[in-house]
Amino acid sequence: MYLAMVYVTLKPTVNDPQGLTIQGALHTLGFGSVKSVRAGKYLEIKLDGKTQAEASDTVQKMCRQLLANPVIENFRFEMEEIK
């Protein structure tokens, strides 16, 4: 069994209103040193696979078909074998 840790983030050219809101709130709380915030998604997916390469291929397909919008988002993931 494998654990995929998937990170989905907006592309740098895409406006991030959620990140701007978080940045404003941090400034209000006294964290004036914060220069920018970009919000994203983090997902953990446990899946079976005969090999890590097979599991990675499956996660890659999941990201391309559902988890990330390729027009506005980038994704990356890390794989770890779990028992």
User: Where do the structural domains in the chain lie, given as residue ranges?
Assistant: 2-81
Chain segment 43-76, per-residue pLDDT in tens: 999 999 999 999 999 999 999 999 999 999 999 9
Q: Residue 74, class by beta-carbon neighbours within 10 Å (0-12 exposed, 13-18 middle, 19+ buried)? A: middle
Four-residue CA torsion sign, 63, 68, 69, 71: negative
Write the CATH number of the domain with boundaries 2-81.
Answer: 3.30.1280.10
Predicted pLDDT at 82: 95
pLDDT range class, residue 83, cuts 50, 70, 90: confident
Residue labelled with tokens 């390469």: 53
Residue labelled with tokens 């050219």: 13
> Under DSSP, is residue 81 helix (H, G, I), strand (E, B) or coil?
strand
Q: Report the largest interatomic distance among the alpha carbons of the chain, rounded to a whole angstrom.
A: 50
